[in-house]
Amino acid sequence: MKKFDGNKTSNDEGLNSAEQNIVDLMQKNSNLSVKEIASKLGMTLKTAEYKTGGLKKQGIIICEGSKKKGKWVTVSILFSNVQIVKKK
């Protein structure tokens, strides 16, 4: 279900469409760099860094391993037919 907070449209977890697109990309290919994510989504590197940093702070993603050989892991997302919900 979408909510409007005055500035952006978000789902129940507070993810805006750019953040959701990042999570979707990471789930398809967990080995992408932030630079590759930015390129694939047509955003600046700074924006991708900011968005992934926010997702890390929210506990939605973590980076396992080193910066060179690491991969992204989505840790607090369950999928259903209609919406994404956080584990409690």
CATH hierarchy code of domain 3-85: 1.10.10.10
pLDDT value, residue 68: 77
pLDDT value, residue 47: 95
Q: Could you give the CA distance from residue 10 to residue 23 in angstroms, rounded to a whole number? A: 14
pLDDT value, residue 36: 93
Q: 10-residue block means of pLDDT along the chain (88 residues)?
A: 38 76 90 93 95 90 81 62 44
Domain ranges of the chain: 3-85
Q: Would you call 69 exposed, middle or buried from its count of C-beta atoms within 10 A (0-12, 13-18, 19+)?
A: exposed
